[in-house]
Amino acid sequence: MGLTLQLSFRIALVWAAGFLLAVAVQAILPDAAGLNLTGKENNLFIPFSRMGFWTCVLGALIVTALVVGRAMLADVGWNSFR
């Protein structure tokens, strides 16, 4: 039970930090700065603030997957990464 609580707190901390960082990045970076992707018919403007937000969310997802995967492997009996 202790390992499960520790895992849940780690995941909660990663998600909280990821969202706080994502909101801070979106608030700090101006909406006028970004990338223009030029196609044959249209131009697509992607602001840096949106890229920063989704990068932080993706980072939280990846860390969560790694932590949960490690816990699952430890439950199965594979303890070689300690």
Domain boundaries, the chain: 2-76
Helix (H, G, I), strand (E, B) or coil at 34: strand
Examine the pLDDT at 82 and tell me if it is beyond 60.
no
pLDDT, residue 3, reads 67
Q: Tell me the angle at which helices 48-76 and 2-28 cross, rounded to the nearest 10 degrees.
A: 170
pLDDT, residue 2, reads 64
As a 3-state breakdown, the chain gives helix, strand, coil percent values, each rounded to 5, of 70, 10, 20
pTM given for the model: 0.56
Nearest to 56 by CA among 16, 28, 29: 16
Helix (H, G, I), strand (E, B) or coil at 47: strand
- Write the pLDDT tens digit of every residue in 17-74: 877 877 887 778 777 777 788 888 888 887 777 777 777 778 778 877 877 777 777 7
